[in-house]
Amino acid sequence: QVQLVESGGGLVQTGDSLKLSCVAHGRTVNRDAMAWFRQAPGKEREFVAAISWIGGVTYYADSVKGRFTISRDNAKNTLYLQMNNLKPQDTAVYYCGRRDSGSMYYARAAEYDVWGQGTQVTVSS
């Protein structure tokens, strides 16, 4: 069974950058599609970005397009999220998730069967 561990969150100011990491333990995720979601207090978990197993195809929520970049290093079994020009509305707990590559519903949280514990990102104005 794979376990996902996120890191890299923190408290930053508007306009700053952060890079989140998600390391998979237990087995390789090289054949799995992966994604980042986030959840703010009192809100549902929302899609942020997704990447295909081979890394060539990426998807982004409109709210982060042009500011965030998802990538993966299959040799390191690690998923990344580079976040630039952060805004207060980006404040949330960020989670990485794993889904079968055969699923096309990359923005649906229910399609993901493994989640990390989350890492807090707080952007002050």
pLDDT of 55: 67
**pLDDT, tens digit, 9 for 90 and up, residues 19-31:** 999 999 999 888 8
Residue 1's CB is within 10 A of a number of other CB atoms, namely 6
pLDDT of 62: 98
Whether the per-residue pLDDT at 51 is higher than 90: the answer is: yes
Cα(79)–Cα(77) distance, rounded to whole angstroms? 7
Q: What is the mean pLDDT of residues 74-79?
A: 94
Q: Pick from 68, 89, 71, 88: which is nearest to 80 by CA? A: 71
